[in-house]
Structure 1
Amino acid sequence: MIEVKEKYYKMAEKALKYYHLLRANIDNLEDELLEVDLELGAKAIDYSREKIGQTFKINHPVEEEVIHRVEKKDMIQRQIDFLNNKLARVDRALESLDEVEQKVIISRYLKGRPWYKIAYEVSYNERWCKEVRKRGISKVAVALYGNTALIEHEFLDAM
C-alpha cells in the first residue's frame, strides 16, 4: 500500500468531498458570466453625480462602465478556468485508479452512497470497501500532490 502523509490524504479526501460543490460553483460562475453579457448597455449619463471642483479630473461614466464589465468578465473567466483546472486534475487522479477503487470512491464521495450499498455494488464487505477507499485516496493524493505526498519519497530522488 502507498503510504502518504496525513495532511495530503485529508486534502485529497476534501477534494473528492467538495467535487460537486465546485462543479456547481463553475455552473453558477458561467451563469454570472452570461448575466454580465446580458446586462443592458451603458446607462444614461447622470450629471448630478459629476463632481465639480479643483481636481480637474474628467469623468467618463460610459467608458468606466465598459471597463468595469470587461474586468468583471475577465475575473469570472479566470475563476472558471482555475476551478476547471482543479476538477480536471481530480478527474485524472480518479482515472488512474483501478476499477474497484474507482467504484468505491465515486460511490462514496461523488454519489454519497452509504457503505452497505457500496459493499453490495462491488461484492465486498464494508470493512474491505473502507480499506479499498484508503488505498484509493492515497493514490489520489499522490496523483494530485506528487511525491511530496509520499512518506518515503527518497527513492525517487535516488533515481
Structure 2
Amino acid sequence: MISQGKLIEGMLNDYIDLENSIRNLELDIEELENDYVGISSISMGEKSSHTYKINRPIENEVLSKEEKIVRLRELKRSNEIRKERIDNALNVLNDNERDVIYFKYLKYRNKSWCFVAKQMDLSEAWVRRLRDKAIDKMIPIVYPSKKELSIRKVAE
C-alpha cells in the first residue's frame, strides 16, 4: 500500500500538469459549446426494413455534445478540487517548508535535492527534513481522518 506521504508527493509532482489540465478542459468545453455542425447531408440509401425509430440528427448531436460538456465540466471540477486541496495544504506550511515544496515540485521540477538545497542556501539533509515536515503537515489537510470527517458532519 502506498503511504499518504508518497501520494502527496505524487500530487505535488502533478500540480503543474493539473493546472494545465484544468485550462485545457476549459478550452475543450468552450470548443464544444461553440461547435455545432448541424445537418451536413441526408443519406437517401435503400431502406432495408420498416422501423419505428425516428432519427433526428440535430437533436442527437445536441444531446451528445451536452453529455460531453457535462462530463468535461465534472472532470474539470474534480481537478479543481484536487488543486484546491493542495493549495489549502500549502497554506499551513511555514515559509521554509513552503519554499522547499515550491522549489522541488513547482519551480525546479526535475532538479536534484542538492540543487534545491543550493538554491535555498541550506544543507541537503535539512531541505529533506523540511520536505518531510511539510508533507506531514499536509497529510491531514489533503486526507482528513474519518474521525475529523464525522466531527465536521455533526457540526454542519
Give the TM-score category using the shorter length: 0.7 to 0.9
In 2, the alpha carbon distance for the partners of 1:67 and 1:50 equals 27
Q: Which residue of 1 aligns with 2:144?
A: 146
* Change over 3 Å in CA distance of 1:6–1:40 after alignment to 2: closer
Task: Please report how far the alpha carbon of residue 130 of structure 1 lies from its aligned counterpart in structure 2 after TM superposition.
Answer: 0.4
Work out the percentage of aligned pairs sharing the same amino acid. Answer: 28
Q: Secondary structure at the match of 1:58?
A: coil
- Tell me whether 1:42 sits opposite 2:38 in the alignment: yes
The alignment covers a number of residue pairs equal to 144
In 1, the alpha carbon distance for the partners of 2:63 and 2:45 equals 18
What 5-or-longer segments of structure 1 have no aligned partner? 149-159
- Tell me whether 1:74 sits opposite 2:59 in the alignment: no
State the Cα RMSD in Å: 2.2
Higher normalized contact order (CA 8 Å, seq sep 6+, divided by chain length): 1
Please tell me whether the aligned partners of residues 45 and 61 of structure 1 are also in contact (alpha carbons under 8 angstroms): no
- Offset from partner CA, 1:126-153 (integer Å, 9 cap, x none): 11100110111111122111236xxxxx
In 1, the alpha carbon distance for the partners of 2:35 and 2:87 equals 34
In the superposition, the TM-score normalised over structure 1's length comes to 0.80
* Change over 3 Å in CA distance of 1:107–1:44 after alignment to 2: same
Task: Please report how far the alpha carbon of residue 6 of structure 1 lies from its aligned counterpart in structure 2 after TM superposition.
Answer: 6.0
What 5-or-longer segments of structure 2 have no aligned partner? 147-156
In the superposition, the TM-score normalised over structure 2's length comes to 0.82
- Tell me whether 1:88 sits opposite 2:84 in the alignment: yes
* TM alignment of 1:112-123, pairs within 5 A: 112=109, 113-123=111-121
Task: Please report how far the alpha carbon of residue 49 of structure 1 lies from its aligned counterpart in structure 2 after TM superposition.
Answer: 6.8
* Change over 3 Å in CA distance of 1:135–1:55 after alignment to 2: same
